[in-house]
Amino acid sequence: MESILISGNPASRRRVIGFERELDRLEQWLAGPHAIARIFSISGIGGIGKTTLLAEMAHRASRSSALALWLDGQGELATSGTFLSSLELALESEYGRRREPGTGLLPHVVGELSRQRTVLMVDNGERLDQLEGWLLTSFLPQLESSEVLLVVASRGGLSDRWHMNPAWGGGGRIETFPLGLFTRAQVMDYLRESGLVTKVQTEVVQKTDGHPLLLSLTVDLLRSRGGELRDRSNEIPAMLSADWLREAASPALHRALTALSLLPAGDPLLLNALLDKPVTPGEFHELASMSFVRATPQGLSLHHVVSRLLRDDYSRRHPQRFQSLRHRALRLLAERFRTVDRRTQMRIASHVLELYREFLPSAHAYVDFSSALRPGEPIPYRPEDLPFLHRFLADSLARADWQSELVRAEDCHAVLDEIALHSPEGFCIVRSDTGIPLGFCAGFRLHVQSVPLLERFAPSLLPMLGEESVHLRRVPAEAADTLCILLAAVDVNQSWYGPEELGAMLMQQWLIHMTSGWRAILFTSDPQLSMLLPILGFQAKDRHRQDGSTGGQLNWWELDFRHITFEEWVQRVIQQTASGGPATVAGQEPDAGIDAIETKQILHHLSEYDKLEQLPIVRQLRVSGAAVQACVRAILTEDNPPFPLTRLEQRILWESFLCKELNKNQLAEAFHMSRTTFYRHSQQAVSHLAHVLTQSLADGGKGTG
C-alpha cells in the first residue's frame, strides 16, 4: 500500500498511514535470524508514495540496528564509480566507516555492507538500467551470501533482465511491490488529523481519488487558506500534470498523452484517429515505456488518476479544443463498440460515462456524480450477498427511501428473495475493495415464468404494459430481454461512502450492464427520480394513475438497448455535452438563430410583450412578442421536453424565469445542488432552450413538434 506522512505533534516523529504489506515484509526480513540477500522492487506512478515508503523503511532499519543507506538515482547512478563513491560517502558521514589507505573502493564498500545487516535504498531508480549489467555481474554477486536488502523505488519497476537473472530473479530473491491508491478508509484516516471541518473533508475525499500526493497537496493548500475552497485549487492538477508530462520528451508525445487520456485504451490506429499528426512507431514505443502507461490487449492505457488530471488540466487551458477532441473520442469509441468483445464493450461504456460524468448532477437526492469513484469489474450476485441486501433494504424501508410503488412495503423482502431465487441476473451490486456489497438494485426479467410472480407481488404492472403483457406470457426465460427494476438500496451504516456516491456508482455500473442489449423499465411517481432518468438516456413512455386514495401519477421510464444502438446513445451524450447544440457536435456551424444570451433576454422579459418585440433577435425573426411567449411556454410545459432539453432543465427554467418565487440560493437548495452546480445546469438549460426555440420558431412557432 502507498502512504502519506501525517503531522501530529510537531515535536514528535510523524506517523505513517498505509504500507502495511511492504513494511510487514521488511520487519520479517529484519527480524529473521539469518536474513538472505534480497531485492525489493517498489514501483508506481509519480506521487504514489515511493519516497515516503523508503523513508519509513530507513527509519525502521536504523531502529533495528541495521545499516540504512540511501542513494538518489537522479544523481548517483550515472556510473559505477559514482555509485560506489556515493556509498563510500554515506558510510563515512553517517557511520564513521572510513576506507583504509590502499583499499580499493569496491572491496571497501562490499566489505562494509557485509559486516552487518544492511538495507540499501535507491530512490528514483529509473536510471538503474545504466548500471544493471555491472550490478548483476560485478557488484551484487559479491553480496549473495551477505545480509543485504536492496530496495529500489522506480516508476516502472525493475526490468526483465533482473527477473531473468538466475541468482536473483531465478533464485526467488526479488519481491515486487506495485503501489496502488489509498482506500477510502485510509483517506478518511488521513483527513481525521488534517484539522479541516467535516464538510471540507468530505469534498476532499471525493475529489482526490485516493492519490496520495494529490491528497496531501490539497490538504496543505486548504490548511494554508483556512479550509476555504477557491479557484486556485485548480493549480494542483496542473502541477501534477506537468510532473507527469515531463516524462514526455517531445510535443508530439504531449499531444498523444492528451488523446490517450480520452480513451480507455488506444492502439496506434485508434490513437492516430484522434491526432492531427500521427505518432510514429518510435513515439508509440516511448509512450509504452512511461511509468503511468501500461500495455493491454486493446492498446496502451493511462493510469486512471493521471488520465483524469491530464483531462482536467487540458480542459481548463484549452476548453474549446478539449471539447472538440472529446467529441471525436466519443464517436470513435461508439464505432469501435460494435467490433469488440463484451468485456471490451463494458470498458468502453464505462469510459464514455467517465467522460460524461462532469455533465451529470453533482448533487441529487439519489446520486452524486462529482466523486471520482470507479465501479471496477462487476461481480455477479452470490448467495452470501443476500443477508447484506436484506439489511440495506430494511434500512431503506425504515427511512421511507425510494422503493418501487409497484410493490407493497411488506412484500419487499419476499420480492428480494424471489429475485435471488428466480432471477439472479436481475441484480446489479456495487462492492467494496474486498468484495462486500455496498449497494444494489434488483428486478425481474420479464418472461412466462416470472409473470406469476409479477401478478402476486406487482399486480398493477401487467395491466400498465397493455398488449405487451399478453406477449410476455409466451416469452421463454432464455429469450427474456427486458428487466423491470423493483428494488434498490445502499449501505447507509458504513462511513466510507456517502449514500449518493454509492447511488451514482450503482447507476453507472447498471448502465454499463444494460449496454449489452437489455431493455430496462421503471415506474415511479418520484419527481426527483423523474428528473434524473432522462439525463441518463431514459425515455418517458406513458403515465398511469396509481391505485388507492392518493391518485398520483406513475411515470413509465424506459432505456432500451435492444433497439437503440450504443452509437445512438453516445450521440445523445455528445449532444448533451455540446455547448452549441447538436449541429455543432457533428462538426457543422451552429444553427443560425437564437443564441444563449438572446434566449436569456427573452426569458427575462417573457411577460412583457412590448419589451419582447423590441429585442433585436425578435425583430430579426419577424415574430410577435405574443408568439415568442407562447412558444417558450409550450416548450417549458411539454410533458416530454424536446431534445436536447431535459426535464431537469425544463423545471429549472420554469422555476427561475416564470415562477420567480425563489432566489438563486433557494433554487439551488430546492434542486439539491450547490450554487455552482445550479449555475452550471442553468447555463446548459438556457443553451439547450436556445436550440429548441430556434427550431420551433423556424417551424412557424407552432409548438415544439
The predicted-structure confidence for 76-86, as pLDDT tens digits, reads as follows 777 888 889 88
On the CB side of 185, CA atoms within 13 Å amount to: 6
> What average pLDDT does the segment 613-638 reach?
83
Is the model's pLDDT at 590 over the cut of 70?
no
Mean pLDDT along residues 585-589: 31
Mean pLDDT of 120-127: 86
pLDDT value of residue 565 = 66
Strands (E), 407-461: 427-431, 437-445
| Residue 436 contacts residue 413 (beta carbons within 8 Å) | no
Backbone angles phi, psi at 279, to 5 degrees: -80, 145
pLDDT score recorded for residue 578? 58
pLDDT, residue 60, reads 92
Q: Return the pLDDT at 224.
A: 63
* Nearest-10 Cα torsion for 382, 385, 386, 392: -140
Question: Residue 498 — φ and ψ, nearest 5°?
Answer: -75, 150
Residue with the larger pLDDT of the pair 244 and 138? 138
pLDDT band at 585 (very low <50, low <70, confident <90, very high): very low
* Closest residue by Cα to residue 179 from 307, 21, 317, 293: 21
Report which secondary-structure segment, H or E, holds 500: helix 499-514
* 149, 177 Cβ separation under 8 angstroms: no
pLDDT at position 586: 29
For residues 527 and 529, give the distance between their C-alpha atoms in angstroms, rounded to a whole number: 5
Rounded to whole angstroms, the Cα distance separating 443 from 428 reads 9
**Pairing status of strand 482-490 against strand 437-445:** antiparallel
Residue 4 has a pLDDT of 38
Cα 331 to Cα 16, 273, 517, 589, distances in angstroms: 45, 11, 19, 18
CA dihedral angle for residue 116, residue 121, residue 126, residue 131, rounded to 10 degrees: -20
With contact defined as beta carbons under 8 Å apart, do 29 and 59 qualify?
A: no
Q: How far is CA 506 from CA 157, 207, 503, in A?
A: 35, 18, 5
* Mean pLDDT lowest among 93-97, 396-400, 515-519, 610-614: 610-614
pLDDT at 169 > cutoff 80: yes
Q: Among 123, 69, 58, 75, which Cα is nearest to 95's?
A: 69
Q: Which amino acid is at 652?
A: I
Give CA angle at 547 (546, 548), nearest 5°: 115
pTM exceeds 0.75 for this model = no
CA distance 216 to 282: 36
Residue 174 — φ and ψ, nearest 5°?
Answer: -105, 130
pLDDT value of residue 189: 82
What is the pLDDT at residue 608?
A: 80
Q: Which of 76-85, 281-290, 331-340, 373-382 has the lowest mean pLDDT?
A: 373-382
Residue ranges of alpha helices (H) inside 539-607 are 566-577, 582-585, 596-604
Q: Give the pLDDT band (50/70/90) at residue 433.
A: confident
pLDDT, position 3: 39
CA 439 to chain centre: 17
Mean pLDDT of the chain: 81
487 half-sphere exposure, CB direction, 13 A CA radius: 36
**Does the pLDDT at position 317 exceed 90?**
no
Confidence of residue 704 (pLDDT cuts 50, 70, 90): very low
Indicate the helix (H) or strand (E) that contains 505. helix 499-514
Predicted local distance difference test score (pLDDT) of residue 372: 62
pLDDT one-digit tens code per residue, 652-675: 998 888 887 787 778 888 887 766
DSSP secondary structure code for residue 263 in this structure: S
Neighbours of 667 (CB within 10 A): 18
Q: Are 570 and 334 in contact (CB under 8 A)?
A: yes
Q: Which residue has the higher pLDDT, 554 or 376?
A: 554
Question: Could you give the 3-state DSSP secondary structure of residue 93?
Answer: helix
Sequence-separated (6 or more) residues with CB below 8 Å from residue 302? 257, 260, 261, 292, 293, 310
Residue type, 573: V
Provide, rounded to the nearest whole percent, the portion of the chain with pLDDT above 90: 21
* 209-220: average pLDDT: 75
Distances (CA, A) of 549 to 19, 544, 546, 552, 553: 60, 14, 8, 9, 12
CA angle at 473 for the pair 472 and 476, rounded to the nearest 5°: 80
